[in-house]
Amino acid sequence: MKTNTRFISSVTKTAKETQVVLPWVRGTRRAAFIAQRSERSAQKAA
């Protein structure tokens, strides 16, 4: 049981420290990337 407790503690600690960027949070950065990609594909077509 001790190993399991230590594992759970480690997972909980890591989860608290990790900063994950979720897809719905990155709106402006994602929109800029999509615009840049669209611009490149339009230049290739021309």
Confidence at residue 44, expressed as pLDDT on a 0 to 100 scale: 78
Confidence at residue 1, expressed as pLDDT on a 0 to 100 scale: 57
Confidence at residue 5, expressed as pLDDT on a 0 to 100 scale: 92
Q: How many CB atoms lie within 10 A of CB 17?
A: 7
In a domain, 1, yes or no: no
User: For residues 13 and 40, what is the distance between their CA atoms, to the nearest angstrom?
Assistant: 43
Output phi, psi for 22, to 5 deg: -80, 150
User: For residues 13 and 23, what is the distance between their CA atoms, to the nearest angstrom?
Assistant: 23
Task: Round the average pLDDT of the chain to a whole number and report it.
Answer: 85
In a domain, 44, yes or no: yes
In a domain, 32, yes or no: yes
Confidence at residue 27, expressed as pLDDT on a 0 to 100 scale: 82
pLDDT (tens digit, 9 = 90+) per residue, 3-45? 899 999 999 999 888 887 777 777 888 889 999 999 888 887 7
Query: How many independent structural domains does the chain possess?
Result: 1
In a domain, 31, yes or no: yes
Q: Tokens for 34, please give them.
A: 């999509």
In a domain, 12, yes or no: no
Name the residue range of residue 43's domain.
19-46
Confidence at residue 46, expressed as pLDDT on a 0 to 100 scale: 66
